[in-house]
Structure 1
Amino acid sequence: MGLSRVWSTTDKDGPTSHINEKGIGWIIGAIFIIGETAGGGMIALSYALTSMGLIPGLILLILCSVFSLYTALELCWTWKIMQNRWPEYRDHCRKPYGEMAYRTIGRKMRSFIAFMICITQIGFATVLVLLAAKNLSILLHFFFHLDINQCYLILIVGLAVWPATMLPSPMHFWQAALFSAGSSTLAVILVVVGLAHDAPVCSQDAPHDEPNLMKAFMAFGTFVFAFGGHATLPTIQHDMKKPAHFVHSVVLAIIFCTILYLCIAVGGYFVYGSTVGEAIIPSLQIKWIQQTVNLMIAVHVITTIVIVMSPPIQQVEALFKVPHRFGVKRFLVRSVLFWFVIFIGLTIPHFGPVLDLIGASTMVLMTLILPPIFYISIRTQEVIWLEGNEKSDEAEPIHERATLKEILRITPKAILALNAAVLIFGIIGGTLSTITSIIRLADSDMAAPCYWQYFTKGLPFSGDNIGSVSCCGTFRNLTVSGQDPIGYCSNPDF
């Protein structure tokens, strides 16, 4: 963007904070985070909570919320320190997360982070594309009685979103974030209304299966996915008018998302119990609410895809030295990257297993493991640099990467203990959850890739009738309206 920076002298921001001549405010920054975060993972939280059990599930959900908030703040503090120390980060930076890795660990880690950001965000975008296609299929059936094969709907979603991926950076598509956050919030409100409507009947017979260890490990991935998106945070912060205010955005957004998640997870647990599927939407028995929520989630994920694709796009464009303007190189690079996402969606056309695997592996790394490492390292560097400059009066930093011995000596014990807890939580939970998700992905009975179906036995344009309700009750045959479950419930168990 090439935006010039000016130093702020206000006490509120601190003497070394700075502002951009242009940029988004902290409220819009919070909306970006909400828009990116609250969506695909949100509708799977009830299933995750019932898989773990109420008390263990709530403890894990709250821990993920608290630790994600803390690591998000650590990324904010890390980027602020880096902008203060190295003037080059006050201008346009396409890969701030990777630069954090470079300044704290080294060049090889920067390359590794660039790769991991691409894998994480591409996986995230794939989940959103699959969810958008699924919701679109339900909407088309309900409103127009059209049953289109999921594979073709993935292509339709791709064609609809493709042009929006050409927008330069988050600053230029804040409207998408507003639509995304607004639609997900409205979806939660409608889900709560649907839960209240179904509760008098369904909660009287809400079965709860015994907690399953494998499902519990997968629930960890779902919870982390719901709070993930940390790879995008430095990009949003960098595009703010006052980057130092991004801490307000983070606190507001994650608290807001936690409230939404608790409403969905706890409500689904008590009203539907173990009858709730990977997504809570089919369990809602008021058809207009069910389909409006589907529409809102579809709007959310389609707009969020644009936000999620920004970090890998920035990484790849920096690698190929793509100019900061629209042209042939930008069009080709972004098109190849986006249609690669669509190709993955056509290869694994079901969002549940992909969501669990991405949440358990790469998102755990980007959300819970790397931010503490970056922060305690850059904080130690800052302390040593300031102490050295006071003694030598040198204007340039005289100290580079901190050693483990320096980190342990300089970092307060409380900060060390908190970061150690986050790291242990992320490493153990992420490892077990990743192994479990891979086992589930390998054992799951999924359809063959769309292109394989097309070239081997043909791929019909029409799909299955998917307009039924997932009814509640022990035998999955309770209807709130008293309607005959045969032909109405998608999963009666007589």
Structure 2
Amino acid sequence: MTTTFFLVGEIAGCGLLSFPWALSRTGWVGILIIVFFAGAAIYTGNLLGRCWMMVQQRKLEYSSQPVRHPYPLIGELAFGAPCRQLISCCVNFTSCGACVAYLLLVAQNLMTLFPAGITSYGNWLIMTAAALCPFCWLGTPKDFWPIALCAVLTTTVASAVILAQVVRDASRVPPAFHAPLDLKTFLMAFGLLSFGFGGHHVFPTFQVDMKKPQKFGTAAAISFTAILCMYIPVAAAAFLAYGSNLQPNVLVSLHPGYLHSASVILMTAHLLAGFVILLNPVSQEMEDRCCIPNCFCFRRVMLRTGIVGLLLFVALSVPQFGAIMALIGGSTMTLVVFIIPCMCYLKLSSMKGDWVTVEVPFHEKVLCVEIILVGAVGGAAATYSALDALTYSHFSMPLYLSWR
């Protein structure tokens, strides 16, 4: 159950806010894409859990000692050191990019919550990063499970509050206009939808701390089902109510009122908790590379504070969270969520040695190949669209250049 809380808390935030806009750019076919991504994410999450169980069975030392970066370890056992480095880069880029998007969303939420002019967007970013620093010093997920519980509760209540506000707005806004589909924005929305179900880069980190790691697949299935039940009603209702006028952050599209304020507060609390959860695998790996002991110490505080400071600089430099999420969703998120789990599972299952042989049914092999192909083609197209949105002609000026 604790793992389920971590999974929902880590995944649900950005998708709840960005899926309405994504649906407005894909049309009703977006619902089918959401369901497909949810099913594929459940399956590949289960495969990743099986991969870690195979690693523990074949390398007994990893079942009796703490492991700071289990996902790269899976890749190394399957395909060697190059795969370990690839996964490590993907995990770090995905986690850090998601944390940047979370910082930007929190700052935007705070600007809508407080009176205009109280302070600037950049200052909200700095204050948010400073407030998060002490929580990022905590060791591993088992040390901050209350944060995961807070993330789940705030997201669940927020989804109901946002839905209620959308229903109220539906009778007060002009009839929704649904613009014709555009290929570039469709592909960018595809990347956003992929991002909304991406959390696999930290899944093994949660599984390592489980008392019964063999039950990780069950936790993943429960989590994604719960997330799907939050995503679809909010996205569909907002799409019907606002149409193509939806903003990348649905909270900006809501009419002011007590429900709007409540949803902003709840989602801000979730994003703050999600930031701590997402950044933890990166911090653990950096500590391992820097030979920092696995305990609370001054070196840990300095390293993790430096990581938060670096993410703050990126957020101030590239204040476009929609394009950032689409880029991550189409590139590294697609790799770590859909492609790598399938490839590692097929490879580890085919390996022979002094362990129990794993037989993969033919239909599972076909399913894995299909997920790999869809992920590769869709991810490449979404990445191209996101990069186009980040070109100079669409680029927002870094926030610190406007300071005097």
Asked whether the two chains share a fold, i.e. TM above 0.5, the reply is: yes
Residue 383 and residue 199 in structure 1: after superposition, are their counterparts in 2 closer, same or farther (change >3 A)? farther
CA contact (8 A) 1:186 1:296 kept: yes
- The reply on whether 1:294 has 2:264 as its aligned counterpart is yes
Residue aligning to 1:313 = 283
Residue aligning to 1:192 = 163
**In structure 2, distance between residues paired with 1:366 and 1:102:** 14
2:126 to 152, 155, 160: 155
TM-score with structure 1 setting the length: 0.79
CA contact (8 A) 1:37 1:226 kept: yes
- The reply on whether 1:438 has 2:387 as its aligned counterpart is yes
Q: For the pair shown, which has the larger CA radius of gyration, 1 or 2?
A: 1
1:87 to 36, 40, 60: 60
Q: Secondary structure at the match of 2:14?
A: coil
**In structure 2, distance between residues paired with 1:323 and 1:158:** 25
Q: How many percent of aligned residue pairs carry the same amino acid?
A: 27
In terms of mean alpha carbon deviation, does 152-161 or 76-85 score higher? 76-85
Give runs of aligned pairs for residues 175-324 of structure 1, distance below 5 A.
Answer: 175-202=146-173, 205-285=175-255, 287-324=257-294
**In structure 2, distance between residues paired with 1:200 and 1:151:** 36
Q: Which has the larger share of helix? A: 2
1:446 Cα shift? 4.2
**In structure 2, distance between residues paired with 1:37 and 1:373:** 23
- The reply on whether 1:40 has 2:52 as its aligned counterpart is no
**In structure 1, distance between residues paired with 2:83 and 2:110:** 40
The two structures, once aligned, show a CA RMSD in angstroms of: 1.6
CA contact (8 A) 1:221 1:430 kept: yes
1:197 Cα shift? 1.5
Give runs of aligned pairs for residues 452-463 of structure 1, distance below 5 A.
Answer: 452-454=401-403, 458=404
Unaligned runs of 5+ in 2: none
Residue aligning to 1:107 = 81
Deviations 1:384-418 (Å, cap 9, x if unpaired)?
Answer: 8436xxxxxxxxxxxxxxxxxxx9xx643211110
**In structure 1, distance between residues paired with 2:37 and 2:353:** 30
2:34 to 54, 61, 74: 61
2:299 to 329, 333, 337: 329
**In structure 2, distance between residues paired with 1:154 and 1:37:** 21
Residue aligning to 2:43 = 70
**In structure 1, distance between residues paired with 2:304 and 2:227:** 30
1:255 Cα shift? 0.3
Unaligned runs of 5+ in 1: 1-26, 388-406, 459-494
**In structure 2, distance between residues paired with 1:82 and 1:110:** 14
Report how many residues are paired: 403
The residue type paired with residue 306 of structure 1 is V
1:284 Cα shift? 2.2
**In structure 2, distance between residues paired with 1:140 and 1:330:** 34
1:120 Cα shift? 0.9
Deviations 1:196-224 (Å, cap 9, x if unpaired)?
Answer: 2222344x711110011111101111111
Q: Secondary structure at the match of 2:118?
A: coil
1:171 to 142, 152, 156: 142
Residue aligning to 2:314 = 344
